[in-house]
Structure 1
Amino acid sequence: MVIREGHLLLESGRDLRTSRIKKLRSQVLIDREVDVSRAILVTEAYKETEGEHPYIRRAKALYKILANMPIHILDGELIVGNQAFKPRAGPIFPEWQVEKTLKEIHTWPTRPGDKFLISDDEINELKEVLEYWRGKTVMDRVLSVLPDECRRAMKYGVFSVYNYMTSGHGHFIPNFEKALKVGLNGIRNEIIKKLESLDTSDPEYYNKTVFYKSLLITIDAIVNFAKRYANLARELALRESDPRRRRELETIAEICERVPAYPARNFWEALQSVWFILLTAQIEQNGLSVAIGRFDQYMYPYFRNDVQNGVLDEDAVIDLLASFYIKTSTINKIYDNEGAVINAGPALGQVITLGGVTRDGKDAVNELTYLCLKADAEVGLMQPDFAIRLHPKTSEEFLVFLAKYIAKYPAKVKIFNDSVVIPALMNVGVSLEDARDYALLGCSEAVIPGKTCSGGNFGQINLAKVLELTLNNGRVMWYYDGSSFHLNPEGPEVQVGIPVGNVEGFRSYDELWNAFKSQLAYVVKLLATTANIIDRVQAELTPHLIFSLVTDGCIERGLDFTDGGAVYNFTAPIAIGAITVADSLAAIKYMVFDNNFISMSELLKVLRNDYEGYDGLRLRLIHEPPKFGNDNPYVDEIAAEVVKAFVEELRKYRNPRGGCYVGSVYSLTGNVSFGWRTGPTPDGRRGGEPLNDNVSPTAGRDLRGPTAVVRSVSHIDAQLLPQGYILNIKFSPTALNDEAKVRRFVSFIRTLLDHGIFHTQFNVISADTLREAQKYPERYRSLLVRVAGYCAYFVELSREVQEHIIARTEHESI
């Protein structure tokens, strides 16, 4: 490609861009379908490679998929590369599990949320293909050795680790800076040198040799995949009658011939290279959140050079960014029915991190930071998600810009606090320079780009169920079988936890608290046991070769990403229902031990009847004891202790990759599904109702405004949680509808930072609008809401999740 200074690489302008975005949006906002092609191709590849090393089988399978899957270039798009045969279609990944797919596939078009269309013929074709995988999947291998006590706890909703049994790791940010500077061919040369320098007497010689050879096949697969798009773009250019579009297609062809094989020379090439790496990583495995990292940092040199040399102007940059953003919204993931409830939306986690500080501690905001958000304002789709890093020296100018953006587009932004995230990372062994360079993935996880196997969301613990086991001496009081609730289930499996004593005989709150901690310790042990088994099986059956190519440490050590190759290795389960537990413990402390209003026996009787016939006492439990979110240390300190106890138990365990366990507190939409599996709690919540979301107060219980909520959350030590927590705050649109209110919002953002809040996000929408969207979903197809650490199209969520979002406290003022 010949690039001349002062000659625009892309002809753009507001009208042309608006027309392009409108056209591309219409091609993306379509019903989701199932794509069976990947399942067919990966099955053929595995049949062809029986007996070969798992690394080689994975590499050859990826090569076959990328060489034969259907590809397309949508009319008008500037960044190319598709995951499936249509935008938003979802591929099938049978390497991880098939039993749930075979059982549930016929329900996907009609299930309550996250629907995917599939024809009867495709179902029959897929069933035939999936039969090959019975007994061969990650889930099969895990369940063959999983202890009975772990199975039992998952059955009764005490914890879940199905996400890593049914998909790859995800939760990953490539080293884009390196990939753009040296290209995949530069990485190829690095691998060849390592291969040639291996010591044949090294006990790991064989494994490293096979690993390096598999990486070389993987590079060939990606480079050839890009060349398929180069050829397609040339074919389309020959048939294109519009001269402007023909020039665009010719440029796309030249770009795809070059990247990602060679170093990017300009902004367009860099953007396309980033996309090919993101895309192929999500074709290789289906784990959540292959994230985009510190985009305004590693892309800035290409942006600055092109603008200074007159190759791109602001219109062209926004045009390219818009096309890139729209591509991220074509990615999709099909969950099994349980996963679709926990990750409703779905939670894809393609996060762009902006702002923060540089590796040497200076403010990192630049011109591209602003343009990234301006471009998204013109696109308005679910992906990508934006994580904004703030710190004490963030300029007032940027804060005002951000506040205005949130007021208008609240669902797309989440705010992170450098002052607590950086120390939290250093507390688990991350160097200061690396910690300053953190980026976000998934919902709330802070990681070091290109250096981390984060193990993010590696299972979820239902803290409210742990409390239920505590109050019943390790026995389950409530069981949800997938269609109906059962109070006091009978049978041999009812003893799920450990005996911690009959709480009716406890004479102090401390006795109850110690019993809860003992029960929590047992449950954490079960989860760690399960997670470590899954970790080893993933490394054995489904190595992540693309991840290994662009993660520091893997090539140097000759170890796959799943096998400890990364510089930093964590396992990060999430705690769900922490505030429900805090409110419940506060209620017991207040009503039973401190004031003797009721006895423990009376409370247990009420709970075992799900408050039936005890409405008066239920109202007292709701209104009399202090509730989290109202700046009351009585309960706020209990919440802090619950989170601390969770983290302390996790820190006792190591993962097979040589790293430690770390904690996070958020819920996705697991607070709804875990709520179904949890009996009535002493805070007045009935059995089956949702637990609190994230670290936010229980809906309707925060009565003193958003600043009081912030003060309550500040009691939780964020530096214990390097992979974060989430605070959701919902404002009425009238709270941010003029300049003076926006200025107050800026001050509120400063308050969040001053109080050490890790992660905050906002919905600025009225309950009336959401009710209207429920009635007329066709009118609100693109209405976005923040769910947990991600946003989703409101009308694609299940009714239960919609109702939970509507129920969140709506603050009329700041």
Structure 2
Amino acid sequence: NWFPLYPELGYFPTLDLVESEHMAEGHAEEARELMKWWKPLGLQDKGEKYFTREELNRAYPFTTIEPPSFVNAFTNIIPPYQSVLEDGLYGRIKMIEKQLDKAKEALQTPPWNAQEKLPLLDKIDLWEAMIIADKAVIMWARRFSRLARIMAEHFEIDSKRKEELIRISDICWRVPAEPCRGFWDAMQAKWLLYVVAQSLERYGSGFSQKEDRLLWPYYKTSVIDQKFQTMSRNQAQELVECERIKVSERGAAKGRAYREGTPGTNDMHVLTIGGLDENNQDDCNELTDVILDAAYSLRTQEHSIDFRWHPQCKRETKYRVFKCIAAGLGFPSIKHEELNYNQLRNLFGATHEQARSWALVLCVSPGITGRRATHKTRNEGGGGTIVMAKCFELALNDGFDHTCTNQQNGPHTGDPLTFKTLEDVFEALRQQVAYAAFLSSKFKDISRQIEIRYLECPFISSMDDACVEKGIGAMALTDVPNCWHNFIALIDVADSLTAMKRLIFEEKKYSLKELLNALKAN
């Protein structure tokens, strides 16, 4: 019944919860003390100094733009699970040690060239931090292994449960330290990696992965080939159902804007299935069907599922997709395979193989999966939100926000009663959106620089081949940037402009003054 707080990422959400009716009795004072301790050290104080009070006041209420991540403590990630499932953390450590040895040898080899060799210092520090983090996660997983064995050998009397505990102990000792060998290994390793990457090292929203591709080799080994951790299809489905339950237990304590903006969900947990592979063939497999059957059987609201739709996807899988939708689950959502592929391939520099690996980062936009260059932070490239309907409201009020903050939230764009044509209205809207885009982009990019400087994530970095090879931290790497910037309520604005064009400027059924009075009265 407890969700974590992240005052180091932004103390306003903690303050909001402390002062709300949701704070558990007897814990408010402790939360206040934690917030005060983190205030001078966390991202919010580090970021606010680069903005005027006017800019902060305009951004924080979430009217025209989403507040910066250094205050709302909200971000998202696609962990590069594949590398650890294939290599194990011991394998990752060996890769990092090779890079360390090369760098140290270069430092010791004449002649001295400061421009070439001084950058190695930061890389060495990062590689050493990666190794520390990887060893810590191995120890953490093996604590579960030891606990399960102690329970089995000293406390459990039921023979079946004792056998289960021994199996848990064996698996948690092996993974994620070593490469996964079967489906149970992969499911357990992925869950532990998810918890570290998105709840412990830092908070990250989502459950992004291309699960039917990621886990297919291990499912095939255990269920189809019956070579290791042998199990039936039904037993594999039960593991997937257990994962759904575990995801349903996860969440984070968010500020009011995100609590009210995404009601009924703990977090934006969405995994992706279906679509085409790198050979442009159907990527659906038996595990795709198992994931859909588990969702239909268990019917938890979390996690959600995205299905990459393509005509080549097999009919049996499409039937299961429609069966889940018909059951009223609200998922899978249907996303166009080629549209998202082309977005990554043609506009954001992804290779063909990377673009065919896409999974939804959160609710709508795609990001690449795999071993390298996956999405690490909301501020990596895109990642902001502009509320177009609010910008339109400001355009009709000379930039003043009458309905929410009662302050000047945008530039002065003129008294709307002086507008003679629809083009005048559109120009005012354009200026409001331009200012919102300026502010949103400024907050986003400065937030990222602060993350790079103060909130590096050595464990997530160690999972990514590109970070390990280049000695670049996860927050700094941008091989394939985050490919969205949300423009909310575009259709509302288009409809409104169309209505104004016809009823005010063409038919002259109403005047601008009548429209403004009606809006203020409603």
Q: TM-score, normalised by structure 2?
A: 0.90
How is 1:764-803 mapped onto 2 (pairs within 5 angstroms)?
Answer: none
Greater mean deviation of Cα atoms: 354-363 or 498-507: 498-507
Q: Secondary structure at the match of 2:45?
A: helix
Q: 2:304 aligns with which of 382, 385, 391?
A: 385
**Deviation, structure 1 residue 240:** 1.6
1:469 paired with 2:394, answer yes
User: What are structure 2's unaligned runs of at least 5 residues?
Assistant: 108-113
Distance in structure 2 (CA, Å) of the matches to 1:408 and 1:249: 35
* Aligned position for 1:796: none
* Aligned position for 2:456: 543
**Deviation, structure 1 residue 241:** 1.7
Q: 1:435 to 1:374 in 2, by over 3 A?
A: same
* Aligned position for 2:5: 92
**Deviation, structure 1 residue 183:** 0.6
How is 1:472-483 mapped onto 2 (pairs within 5 angstroms)?
Answer: 472-480=397-405
Give per-residue Cα distances to partners, 1:538-591, cap 9 Å, x unaligned: 11111122321223421122111112x242123743222222212211111111
Distance in structure 1 (CA, Å) of the matches to 2:320 and 2:483: 36
Q: 1:178 aligns with which of 83, 88, 94?
A: 83
| 4+ aligned runs moved over 4 Å, structure 1 | 454-457
Q: Secondary structure at the match of 1:278?
A: helix
Give per-residue Cα distances to partners, 1:449-480, cap 9 Å, x unaligned: 14233654833222112112212222333334
Residue identity over aligned pairs, in percent, reads 26
How is 1:255-266 mapped onto 2 (pairs within 5 angstroms)?
Answer: 255-266=171-182
Greater mean deviation of Cα atoms: 426-435 or 523-532: 426-435
Is 2:7–2:13's contact at 8 Å kept on the other side of the alignment?
no
Q: 1:460 aligns with which of 381, 385, 397?
A: 385
How is 1:344-359 mapped onto 2 (pairs within 5 angstroms)?
Answer: 344-346=263-265, 348-359=267-278
1:285 paired with 2:210, answer no
Q: Which amino acid aligns with 2:98?
A: K
**Deviation, structure 1 residue 318:** 1.4
Distance in structure 2 (CA, Å) of the matches to 1:415 and 1:366: 18
* Aligned position for 2:124: 209
Q: 1:130 to 1:599 in 2, by over 3 A?
A: closer
Q: Secondary structure at the match of 2:122?
A: helix
* Aligned position for 1:367: 286
1:600 paired with 2:512, answer yes
Is 1:167–1:287's contact at 8 Å kept on the other side of the alignment?
no
How is 1:303-342 mapped onto 2 (pairs within 5 angstroms)?
Answer: 303-310=219-226, 311-342=230-261
Q: Secondary structure at the match of 1:394?
A: coil
Give per-residue Cα distances to partners, 1:612-631, cap 9 Å, x unaligned: xxxxxxxxxxxxxxxxxxxx
Distance in structure 1 (CA, Å) of the matches to 2:423 and 2:130: 55
Distance in structure 2 (CA, Å) of the matches to 1:124 and 1:498: 40
Distance in structure 1 (CA, Å) of the matches to 2:223 and 2:13: 51
Q: 2:166 aligns with which of 250, 274, 278?
A: 250
Is 2:358–2:369's contact at 8 Å kept on the other side of the alignment?
yes
Higher relative contact order (CA 8 A, sep 6+): 2
Q: Secondary structure at the match of 1:586?
A: helix
Distance in structure 2 (CA, Å) of the matches to 1:155 and 1:93: 18
Q: Secondary structure at the match of 1:561?
A: coil
* Aligned position for 2:313: 394
* Aligned position for 2:434: 521
Give per-residue Cα distances to partners, 1:334-355, cap 9 Å, x unaligned: 0122332223234523322111
Is 1:539–1:562's contact at 8 Å kept on the other side of the alignment?
yes
Distance in structure 2 (CA, Å) of the matches to 1:127 and 1:146: 25
How is 1:616-655 mapped onto 2 (pairs within 5 angstroms)?
Answer: none
Q: 1:501 to 1:523 in 2, by over 3 A?
A: same
Distance in structure 2 (CA, Å) of the matches to 1:164 and 1:134: 11
User: What are structure 1's unaligned runs of at least 5 residues?
Assistant: 1-31, 33-88, 110-116, 481-488, 611-685, 687-814
* Aligned position for 1:444: 364
Q: Which amino acid aligns with 1:375?
A: A
Q: Which has the higher helix share?
A: 2
**Deviation, structure 1 residue 258:** 0.6
Q: Which amino acid aligns with 1:551?
A: D
* Aligned position for 2:110: none
* Aligned position for 1:229: 144
Distance in structure 1 (CA, Å) of the matches to 2:413 and 2:360: 39
Q: 1:405 to 1:344 in 2, by over 3 A?
A: closer
* Aligned position for 1:429: 349
Q: 1:169 to 1:558 in 2, by over 3 A?
A: farther
Q: Which amino acid aligns with 1:337?
A: R
**Deviation, structure 1 residue 184:** 0.9
Distance in structure 2 (CA, Å) of the matches to 1:409 and 1:602: 43
Is 1:98–1:130's contact at 8 Å kept on the other side of the alignment?
yes
* Aligned position for 2:40: 135
* Aligned position for 1:577: 489
Distance in structure 2 (CA, Å) of the matches to 1:382 and 1:96: 28
Q: Which amino acid aligns with 2:375?
A: C
Distance in structure 2 (CA, Å) of the matches to 1:574 and 1:595: 34
Q: Which amino acid aligns with 1:477?
A: H
Q: 1:455 to 1:225 in 2, by over 3 A?
A: closer
Is 1:168–1:286's contact at 8 Å kept on the other side of the alignment?
yes
Q: Secondary structure at the match of 1:321?
A: helix
